Amino acid sequence: MATLERLLVDASASEAEGLLGEALREAREAEDPASAVEGVVAVGVRHRLGRVRRATLSALADVAREWCDRRDLTFALTGGGSGRVNHFGALTRDVSPHVRAEFVRLCDSLLRDENGEVCAHAPRVLPYVLSALGDDIDDVRRVAEAVSTSSLTNFQDVVCRNLGDMLLPTLAELKNHAESGWSEDIIVRALTLTETMVRVAENRSTQFVPNVCDALLHAWSSTEPGNAKRRRIIKNVRDTLTRSCPDASEYVSAILQFDD
C-alpha cells in the first residue's frame, strides 16, 4: 500500500484511476477480497487530492459492477470490515462536491445486483443516496435524484421496504450524539436524513412516529438556545412528519410542542 500511495502523489486523474483499478483488480484475487479491496480504497479516499479520491470511487464502481455478490464488499466499506472504518460515512462529508457526486454513483452500482434487482444489503447503502438528496450543491442533488428516479424501479417502495433498517439506526445515532454533545455536524446530518426518509416514505412512516418523536425530543432538549440552525431543522422534521403521517398528526402536535 505504501508503494501505491507514493505512485498516487503525482498521478493525473486518469493515471490514478488506472493505478487504483489495477490495485483493486489484484485485491479481488486475494484470499479475503472484500478486506483487500477495502485496504486499497482506504488509501485512495484518504488522499489529499480530490481528483484521486474521485478516481478511487470511479475505479471501485467499475470493479463493483463485475462483483457478483456485493454484500461482503459493502459490509467492509461501511464499517463492518476488520478496520471498522465507515468509509461511506466519511465520503458523505467530503469537501469536494465532485467526490460526493461520484460517491452517489458508486452507491448506485452497489445497490443493484447483476440482474438489476435491488440487493439485500440496500439498507447499508440507501441512506447515503437519501442524504445526497439534501446536499447543499445542486450537482450532487441532481446525481442523487437521477439514482432515485431512473436507476431503481420504484425508489419510494425500496425505501419503504427498508425503512426500519435505515430509520431506527439513524434515530439511535441522533439520540446518542445529542445526549453526549458530540459533533454538531453528525446531529444535523442525522436530522436531515430523518426528514428525507419520512418525506420519501410518506404515510408508511406512521409506525415509526413514536420513535421519531422520541429522538426529536432528545435533540431539542439538548439544543442550546442560541443554536438556531438545529432548532429550525428539528421543527422542519416535525412538520414533515405531520404532513407525511396525517393519521398521527394529533399525536405529533401533542408530543412535539417546542417553545421558541
Q: Domains in the chain: how many in total?
A: 1
Neighbours of 209 (CB within 10 A): 20
Q: What is the model's pTM?
A: 0.85
> Is 185 within the bounds of a domain?
yes
Q: What is the model's pLDDT at position 71?
A: 84
Q: What is the model's pLDDT at position 178?
A: 87
Find the helix or strand (DSSP H, E) in which 182 lies. none
Kindly list the averaged pLDDT for each block of 10 residues, start to end, along the chain of length 260.
Answer: 78 83 87 88 89 90 79 87 79 95 93 76 92 94 90 80 95 90 85 96 96 96 87 96 97 88
> Is 75 within the bounds of a domain?
no
Grid coordinates belonging to 153: 424501479
Closest CA to 249 of 235, 259, 239, 258: 239
Range of the domain at 198: 162-260
Cα separation, 142 vs 140, whole angstroms: 5
> Is 51 within the bounds of a domain?
no
> Is 210 within the bounds of a domain?
yes
Q: What is the model's pLDDT at position 155?
A: 87
> Is 251 within the bounds of a domain?
yes
Cα separation, 31 vs 225, whole angstroms: 54
In Å, what is the CA distance from 62 to each residue of 54, 55, 77, 105, 106? 13, 11, 15, 11, 9
> Is 108 within the bounds of a domain?
no
> Is 11 within the bounds of a domain?
no
Cα separation, 55 vs 18, whole angstroms: 9
Cα separation, 195 vs 153, whole angstroms: 22
Q: Are 77 and 67 in contact (CB under 8 A)?
A: no
